[in-house]
């Protein structure tokens, strides 16, 4: 399960292993439910700092998110490290990290951090709650001719350092870097614009998302990919037919997960020729002939 991958990222982090209390020989990271303070699996007398997280899967149409992850960090006034400091480490470990399970890839983007205090206790317990938006990147390539496959192949040919989600073979844990940005091509829509005797003409809108570990480097990669598409004006799909670029737009202000490059293109799908009628009986110049 993808929840397990997020759990492994948290518990395997060396900084959290030092900052958090130890429970059952592991850093005190829990999914949904916290164990009681008095159980015997706590290594030391204190069960703080500790962390509990939960993922709620719910598609948000406006923000295009697939879920929300909430992480609660609990500390006391006796702990050396403040919950805000631990929260900053959590944000840093998820920055640029893509997690893949089977055919889907996920990304957790930090949204906000809220502070809280529990009821008066001794020692005083307080902490922070962090919210992350979860984005899912599902495989977009379909049956041929597929404009997404053609665009993925085009970007890979012209910018081979790019890692293309849903096209390249990628590891379970993948970090977007300045040298190897992560790119995702998504089809927004397709429509049939006209049909002739031999061909059905289609129009598709594609969005290209680009992400690296640095904002300025990301802008450079966006410009490079945009320039390549503008100069060539077309890509070649798997069956050899072209995807003709009719409109191309670049927007640095778009959120990365909305896609910073938008491509509108057209391509043709050959129609099946009607079956030929076999003539079993024909008449030529008054003579009658029969096949067979």
Q: How confident is the model at residue 272, as a pLDDT?
A: 74
Q: Which domain holds residue 261?
A: 147-270
The list of the chain residues with pLDDT below 70 reads 44-45, 61-63, 254, 273-292
- From 113, 137, 161, the end of a domain falls on 137
Task: Say if residue 151 is in the same domain as residue 132.
Answer: no
Query: What's the CATH code of the domain at 101?
Result: 3.30.2000
Q: Is residue 277 in some structural domain?
A: no
- From 137, 170, 196, the end of a domain falls on 137
Task: Say if residue 130 is in the same domain as residue 162.
Answer: no
- From 107, 137, 167, the end of a domain falls on 137
Task: Say if residue 154 is in the same domain as residue 131.
Answer: no
Q: Are 241 and 235 in contact (CB under 8 A)?
A: no
Task: Say if residue 168 is in the same domain as residue 250.
Answer: yes
Q: Which residues of 18-50 are buried (b: 16+ CB within 10 A; e: fewer)?
A: ebbbebeeebbbbeeeeeeeeeeebeeeebbbb
Q: Is residue 279 in some structural domain?
A: no
Task: Say if residue 10 is in the same domain as residue 130.
Answer: yes
Q: How confident is the model at residue 291, as a pLDDT?
A: 52
Q: Is residue 57 in some structural domain?
A: yes
Q: Is residue 142 in some structural domain?
A: no
157 membership: H or E segment, kind and range: helix 147-158
Q: How confident is the model at residue 1, as a pLDDT?
A: 79
Q: How confident is the model at residue 80, as a pLDDT?
A: 84
Task: Say if residue 101 is in the same domain as residue 172.
Answer: no
What is the domain count for the chain? 2
Q: Is residue 116 in some structural domain?
A: yes
Task: Say if residue 173 is in the same domain as residue 218.
Answer: yes
Task: Say if residue 7 is in the same domain as residue 126.
Answer: yes
Q: Is residue 158 in some structural domain?
A: yes
Task: Say if residue 185 is in the same domain as residue 249.
Answer: yes
Q: How confident is the model at residue 231, as a pLDDT?
A: 98
Task: Say if residue 171 is in the same domain as residue 63.
Answer: no
Q: Is residue 237 in some structural domain?
A: yes
CA torsion angle for 35, 37, 43, 48 (degrees, to 10)? 100
Q: Is residue 78 in some structural domain?
A: yes
Task: Say if residue 200 is in the same domain as residue 155.
Answer: yes
Task: Say if residue 121 is in the same domain as residue 246.
Answer: no
Shortest CA distance to 73 belongs to which of 7, 11, 125?
A: 125
Q: How confident is the model at residue 254, as a pLDDT?
A: 67
Please give the structure tokens belonging to residue 17: 């292993």
Beta-bridge partners for 73: 51, 128
Query: What's the CATH code of the domain at 247?
Result: 3.30.2000.10
Q: How confident is the model at residue 6, as a pLDDT?
A: 93
Q: pLDDT tens for residues 211-242?
A: 999 999 999 999 999 999 999 999 999 999 99
Q: How confident is the model at residue 285, as a pLDDT?
A: 64
Q: How confident is the model at residue 287, as a pLDDT?
A: 56
């Amino acid at each position: 399960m993808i929840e397990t991958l997020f759990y492994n990222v948290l518990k395997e982090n060396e900084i959290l292993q030092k900052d958090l209390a130890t429970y059952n020989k592991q850093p005190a990271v829990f999914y949904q439910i916290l164990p009681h303070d008095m159980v015997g699996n706590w290594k030391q007398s204190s069960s703080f700092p500790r962390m509990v997280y939960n993922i709620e899967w719910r598609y948000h149409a406006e923000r295009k998110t697939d879920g929300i992850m909430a992480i609660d960090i609990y500390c006391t006034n006796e702990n050396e490290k403040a919950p805000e400091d631990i929260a900053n480490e959590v944000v840093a470990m998820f920055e640029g990290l893509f997690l893949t399970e089977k055919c889907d890839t996920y990304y957790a983007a930090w949204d906000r951090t809220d502070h809280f205090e529990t009821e008066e206790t001794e020692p005083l317990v307080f902490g922070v709650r962090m919210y992350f938006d979860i984005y899912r990147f599902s495989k977009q390539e379909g049956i041929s001719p597929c404009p997404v496959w053609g665009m993925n192949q085009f970007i890979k040919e012209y910018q081979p350092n790019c890692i293309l989600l849903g096209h390249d073979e990628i590891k379970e844990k993948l970090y977007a870097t300045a040298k190897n940005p992560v790119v995702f091509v998504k089809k927004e829509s397709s429509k049939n614009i006209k049909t002739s005797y031999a061909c059905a003409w289609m129009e598709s809108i594609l969005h290209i998302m680009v992400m690296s570990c640095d904002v300025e480097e990301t802008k450079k990669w966006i410009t490079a990919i945009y320039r390549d598409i503008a100069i060539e004006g077309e890509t070649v799909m798997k069956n050899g037919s072209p995807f003709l670029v009719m409109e191309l737009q670049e927007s640095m202000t778009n959120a990365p997960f909305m896609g910073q490059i938008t491509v509108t293109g057209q391509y043709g799908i050959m129609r099946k020729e009607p079956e030929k009628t076999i003539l079993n009986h024909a008449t030529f110049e008054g003579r009658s002939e029969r096949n067979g």
